[in-house]
Amino acid sequence: MSGTLSPIDKAKFVAAKRAVDYVEDGMKVGLGTGSTAAWMVKCLGEMVRNDGLKITGVATSTRTAELARQVGVPIVTLDEAKWLDLTIDGTDEYDHNLNLIKGGGAALLMEKIVATASDQMIVIADLSKQVETLGAFPLPVEVIPFGWQTTKALIEETLVNLDVLGRTASLRMNGASPCITDEGNYILDLHLRRIGNPRQLSLVMNQIPGVVENGLFIDICDVVVIGNGDGSVEVRDINNGTVEHEQIDVQETDNLFVDIAD
């Protein structure tokens, strides 16, 4: 096992493996985007193939949809599903109130829509994503391409009056071209360093013309499953006020530990 997964990948895997315990037969499940969420999708695929699990997935990106189909998880649109039992997704940061920064994978808009259309959101992460105060990770803001430089200037001007340490925004690039989301939009990364009032910032950002959505997930996450490199996990349920610690048995399979991209 130690030769197969690095400690960080093992931490992501055990978090994903523990999180899929929440999935029950017949559920409609939102499938997140990113390297940690990819482990979760592969775990669900194994349960579908080996255990006969019957679920319906709603993907938060085209690449998650492609992976789900590859491993045998049926995919429908959110309009077809209408409402979901739960969503499992990763995060770029989380604080003690389980508020999140997401969008490092440029899928924040679909991720937020899917998460808020679910009875429960479970976040899978490793300890490196835990922070006292959100903001060290640049906050992604999805904006329409038309007039994006004006939108950027408005955002930076607005930040002057908010409780943040940094006030610059940069256009996310994909090589020499702007990064394009699945919805055809751009991503501005806000380099804030510390966000004193995430709720206020989220509300204000979404009032700026040209802004589609921001990567602050406030009061959306119900449970965070934190994986560690030694195979242990911590499960924090903010609604029940519980913290549980478990050890996950990691069994190597033929298909699970290949083709996971960061």
Intra-chain end-to-end CA distance of the chain, in Å: 19
Hey, is 59 helix, strand or coil?
Answer: strand
Q: Is 34 annotated as a binding residue?
A: yes
pLDDT tens per residue, range 211-255: 999 999 999 999 999 999 999 999 999 999 999 999 998 876 545
Marked catalytic residue, from 46, 93, 111, 213: 111
pLDDT tens digit string along 30-54?
999 999 999 999 999 999 999 999 9
- In this prediction, residue 4 has a pLDDT band, given cuts at 50, 70 and 90, of confident
Whether residue 261 lies inside any domain: the answer is no
104 annotated to a ligand binding site:
yes
Q: How many helices (H) and strands (E) does the chain have?
A: 7, 16
Shared domain for 110 and 240, answered yes or no, is yes
| % of the chain exceeding 90 in pLDDT | 92
Q: Which CATH number characterizes residue 231's domain?
A: 3.40.50.1360
Residue 255 belongs to some domain of the structure? no
Judge whether 151 is annotated as a binding position: no
Q: Is 80 among the catalytic positions?
A: no
> Which pLDDT score, from 0 to 100, does residue 261 have?
45
On whether both 75 and 156 belong to a single domain, the answer is no
Q: What is the pLDDT of residue 1?
A: 36
254 is in an annotated binding site: no
Q: Is 92 annotated among the ligand-binding residues? A: yes
pLDDT class of 156 with cuts at 50, 70, 90: very high
Please check whether residue 39 lies inside any domain of the structure: yes
- C-alpha 194/C-alpha 46 separation (Å) is 40
Indicate whether 195 and 235 sit together in one domain.
no
Q: Name the pLDDT band for 259 (thresholds 50, 70, 90).
A: low
206/185 Cα distance (integer angstroms): 15
Same domain, 104 and 233: yes
Query: Does residue 254 lie in a domain region?
Result: no
Indicate whether 124 and 24 sit together in one domain: yes
29 shares its domain with 44: yes
Write the pLDDT tens digit of every residue in 197-213: 999 999 999 999 999 99
In this model, does residue 69 exceed pLDDT 80? Answer: yes
Instruction: Give me the domain span that covers residue 243.
Output: 7-131+219-247
Specify the number of domains making up the chain.
Answer: 2
Q: What kind and span of H or E run contains 248? A: none
How many residues are given for the chain? 262
At 140, the pLDDT band (50, 70, 90 cuts) reads very high
